[in-house]
Each structure stands twice: as structure tokens, then as C-alpha cells.
Structure 1
């Protein structure tokens, strides 16, 4: 079953920009073979990652991600079945952000900004996927 998964975590100090590059290179190498796509938002101290693919495969990947010592306080905020992928050609799109001053690529309401802050704080938002799309599209 095609599904998505969103988690947030705190970036550890040992996770340098070089380590982020290693993460993205690994995603490019490994996710294409598993037909997993998604996006990674990161700041100097946090991650938000959206994964999409077959349910079993994305949860197997999530289990591996939870063991990665470059982050801590990993919190699953949403997972649900989907009809189609949101980022079908991105084995892992990435964007570095200042989470205190996010620039959205489309118009966003104050309510949406509040909902996005909920995501950053590890809370689910009913619009989480749509809000992530607004950062990238």
C-alpha cells in the first residue's frame, strides 16, 4: 500500500553540513532502488522529513533512521495511505531553512504558519503534507 510518513527530530552537534551531504548521498543511492521518495527540511538544530513509498519499506527505513546518531528525539507526526506520490521524482529533495523565518514558495496564511510551527514542534497537523509542498513548490 502506497503511504507517507512524516517525522521530526533534533539535530545533534555532530551532524555537520558534511554529514547532511552524506545523508543525501545515501538517500540518492538507496531510495531509488526501494522506490522511496520525499523531502528533508533541516535547520541548524532540527529535521523534518517526509517519506513516501510502499508502507513496509518506508517503515523499515524509518526504523533505520531512528538508530542514526546524528539526531535525537525522533517523533513520528503522521503516516497515512496515499493515492499518489507528492514528490515522485525526488529520491530526497532537501532544503536548509531557518525554522524561525521560513520562506514559503506559495502564499500561506497566518493559520498555515501556525500549523507549520506545530509540525516543527512535533505535533501533527491535518495539512502537514500540503504545508510541506508549499515550502518546495
Structure 2
């Protein structure tokens, strides 16, 4: 079964409280588990960057919920496509705190491919997936 992934950036709704955010993440984790989707949400207080992956039908269902959510505005799809394997299988959905620099870097990163950079890639060029993997690594190792 082919796997798909989506990554987007958006602006946090002005009235989104910390309690509501935690509730949304818990609800998303439950839904994603049923849909076979895994992912991570980075939040700097003003913006979100979310990456999720899974079977095509599950990703489509999750993305539809994302697009209909009132917890954010100005959704910008950074990439959508096939992945050969899960990059972040650790959580059905997990929110990670992030600073504005990291969220900005992810929003401007090269998401043209979901494959992590390899030794044959141009030295010093990190794809969005690489930046995300580095940001997530300390939380995975702590789990």
C-alpha cells in the first residue's frame, strides 16, 4: 500500500487557548490512529507546521479535517506526495514546542522531495524533511 505525506504551515487562530490546543492534539491523535496516520505538529505560539503520513485514504481524511479546522487560518501546503516509508512513525500526532526561527526555517525549506538527503546530495543543502528530523530527534530519543 503506497504511503502519502503532507506538510503545511498555517497561522494560529487568535482565540486558540492552550487548553483548546491540547484538546485538538488529543482528538487528532485518536482520529489519526484510526486512519493509520502518524505525524507531528510544531507550534511557536503564532504559527503551525504540521507533517503527517500514512495510507492515501487516511491522509486524505486527515487533510480534510485540517482544512476545515477553525484553529488556524492561512493554510499553505508546503508539499504533498508519496513516501517510500514512514519518516516519523513515533506518534499518531504529537505537538512539539518550537521557536519562531525553526518554524520559519521549516516553512521556507525545500520540500520538493520527502526523502532525506544522502551523501550524493549537495553538501550543506538540507531538505525540509531533514530539518524536521533534526528538530524531532531529541523528543524521539527521550521517549
Same fold (TM over 0.5): yes
Alpha-carbon deviations, 1:28-78, whole Å to 9, x = none? 211111110010001111000000001232122112211111110001111
Counterpart of 2:124 in structure 1 is none
- Residues 82 and 72 (structure 1), Cα distance of their counterparts in 2 relative to 1, 3 Å cut: same
Deviations 1:66-117 (A, max 9, x none): 11111100011111211111111311122112213x4xxxxxxxxxxxxx73
Partner of 1:76: 77
Equivalent residues in 2 for 1:1-137 (5 A)? 1-100=2-101, 102=102, 117=104, 119-120=106-107, 124-126=110-112, 127-137=127-137
Is contact 1:78-1:124 (8 Å) kept? no
Matches of 1:54 and 1:86, distance apart in 2 = 13
Question: How far 1:14 sits from its partner (Å)?
Answer: 1.1
In 2, Cα distance between equivalents of 1:35 and 1:60 = 10
Structure 2: stretches of 5+ with no match in the other structure: 113-126, 138-143
Query: Are the counterparts in 1 of residues 38 and 90 from structure 2 also a CA contact under 8 Å?
Result: yes
Tell me the TM-score normalised to structure 1 length.
0.80
Separation of aligned partners in 1, 2:73 and 2:82: 26
Structure 2 CA distance, aligned partners of 1:84 and 1:125? 16
Spell out structure 1 runs of 4+ moving beyond 3 A. 116-119, 123-126
Q: Is the 8 A contact 1:7 1:49 kept in 2?
A: yes
- The SS at the match of 1:13 is coil
User: RMSD between aligned alpha carbons?
Assistant: 1.8
TM-score (norm 2): 0.77
